[in-house]
Chains A and B, each alone.
Chain A
Amino acid sequence: AQSVTQPDIHITVSEGASLELRCNYSYGATPYLFWYVQSPGQGLQLLLKYFSGDTLVQGIKGFEAEFKRSQSSFNLRKPSVHWSDAAEYFCAVGSYNTDKLIFGTGTRLQVFP
């Protein structure tokens, strides 16, 4: 079955600390992977995406993600978190042609000063 798992429902970090949000996927075809951020009451903002090429992908706001095929993972990282990063983060998987996405359940990030 096709699915996306975000094991961490809620993560709390101090401002300036590093961050890693986990994402594992199960997908029958070549996966097209995305990370989105959603602030309370807002829509989705694309942080980064991966389809092929360099497995380390750079995104906006200082985020990066690494695709590891052997582990079926696409973890999101940021070296130093800012208070404004507090939000809900969603990992999603699709295929290049259909673009119908399967979303993970999300990880809520809380940042303490």
Chain B
Amino acid sequence: GAVVSQHPSRVICKSGTSVKIECRSLDFQATTMFWYRQFPKQSLMLMATSNEGSKATYEQGVEKDKFLINHASLTLSTLTVTSAHPEDSSFYICSPQVPGEAFFGQGTRLTVV
């Protein structure tokens, strides 16, 4: 199956700072990347869909100016949480679009203190 590498796996940051999460597809090219988040003891919810070379699309209720997504190449998509607050503490996980499949990165656990 496709290999997806997501970094960092864990990050603790101070309130007000920004955190960048990288998601790399190692053995294939991903035109589209899905970004999900999972709050503690909740399910995964789609946040946004990034497309290589174009603007990301965000799900309802997700602030696009807070969660900056860049998909500059077919093997790298990044999610930057800007001006992080404690309520942004969550598990963030990426998933490249591969027809007929649903691969996920290892996830990033963000804790904002």
A43 to B103 CA separation, bound complex (whole angstroms) = 11
Q: How far, in angstroms, from A32 to B100 measured CA to CA in the complex?
A: 8
Total cross-chain contacts (CB, 8 A): 53
Which residues of chain A are near B34, meaning CB under 8 Å?
Answer: 99-101
- Say yes or no: is A71 at the interface (Cβ < 8 Å to chain B): no
Size bin of chain B's contact surface: 20 to 34
Q: Is B24 an interface residue (CB 8 A)?
A: no
Within 8 A of A (CB), among B98-113: 98-107, 109
Number of interface residues of A (CB under 8 A): 23
For residue A11, give the distance in angstroms from its CB to the closest CB of chain B.
16
Residues from 70 to 97 in A contacting B, C-beta threshold 8 Å: 90, 92, 94, 96-97
Residues of B within 8 A of A34 (CB): 102
Give B76-113 interface residues, CB cut-off 8 Å to A: 93, 95, 97-107, 109
| Closest CB in chain A relative to B110 CB, distance in Å | 13
Query: Given that A90-B44, A103-B43, A106-B43 are contacting pairs, would A96 and B99 also be in contact in the complex, using a CB cutoff of 8 Å?
Result: yes
Q: Is B62 an interface residue (CB 8 A)?
A: no
If the complex has contacts A43-B93, A104-B43, are A97 and B102 also in contact, measured as CB distance less than 8 A?
no
Question: Does A46 contact B93, Cβ atoms closer than 8 Å?
Answer: no
22 contacts between A and B (CB under 8 A): A34-B102, A41-B109, A43-B105, A43-B107, A44-B44, A44-B107, A46-B102, A49-B102, A51-B100, A96-B99, A97-B99, A99-B95, A99-B97, A99-B99, A100-B34, A101-B34, A101-B36, A102-B46, A104-B43, A105-B42, A106-B42, A106-B43
